[in-house]
Amino acid sequence: MQYLIAAIGKMRPSAERDLLNTYSARIRPPLQIIELEEKRNLSPSELKTREGELLLAAIPSGAKIIALDERGKSITSRELATRLGEWKDEGVRETIFLIGGADGLDESVRKKAHMVISFGAMTWPHMMVRAMMAEQLYRAETILSGHPYHRD
């Protein structure tokens, strides 16, 4: 299965980008990153709506959608791996993870998602969330293959 992360904002050289690249390279096929941004000066509500439109437009046809949102459900790494394994067994070819901008995800994105998950109640920097998601995808692959990387 191909994994994609579509996120608002462009990553600049940083420790977070290095970490994202490290885990992205370990995933097969390699994780694809889609960076989106709106450069117009819009009000916060207009910007959130526009970012939602950009994210929704990035979704490949037939892909499963997982939105990352602070109001989402906290799940374990094993639960994520199980869900991804089920989708893979069902013939799903692509799963896309959507990460909003500084003001979060537009409700239209949350409604379209097959799952809305959270990395917990804390707020995380958006650039770090990309690296964290890449690590979780690598972890899911190791769980599904029986590799000892993950320990319960």
Please check whether residue 45 lies inside any domain of the structure.
Answer: yes
Q: How many CA atoms lie within 13 A of 69 on its CB side?
A: 21
- CATH at 71: 3.40.1280.10
Q: Report if residue 115 sits inside a domain.
A: yes
**Any idea what DSSP says for residue 132?**
H
pLDDT digits (tens, 9 = 90+) for 7-31: 999 999 999 999 999 999 999 999 9
Beta strand residue intervals within 1-93, DSSP E: 2-8, 32-36, 64-74
The pLDDT of 67-72, averaged and rounded, is 94
Q: Quick check: 123 pLDDT over 90?
A: no
Q: Is residue 148 reached through a cis peptide bond, with omega within 30 degrees of 0 on the bond before it? A: no
For residue 107, the model assigns a pLDDT of 97
Domain membership of residue 152 (yes or no) is: no
**Bridge partners (DSSP) listed for residue 6:** 34, 98
Asked, for residue 52, whether it belongs to a domain, the answer is: yes
pLDDT at 147 over 90: no
Token pair 């319960």 in the structure block, residue: 152
- Please report whether residue 151 resides in a domain: no
Structure tokens at 134: 């890449």
Q: How many CA atoms lie within 13 A of 67 on its CB side?
A: 23
Q: Return the pLDDT at 140.
A: 97
In a domain, 150, yes or no: no
Per-residue pLDDT for 84 more than 90? yes
* pLDDT score of 129 more than 90: yes
Per the structure, the complete domain to which residue 7 belongs is given by: 2-145
Number of C-beta neighbours around residue 113 at 10 A: 21
Q: How many domains does the chain have?
A: 1
pLDDT attached to residue 148: 86
Residue 94: which H helix or E strand, with range? strand 94-99
Closest CA to 137 of 74, 101, 85: 85
Residue 111 lies in a domain: yes
Q: Are 139 and 77 in contact (CB under 8 A)?
A: yes
Whether 108 is in a domain gets the answer: yes
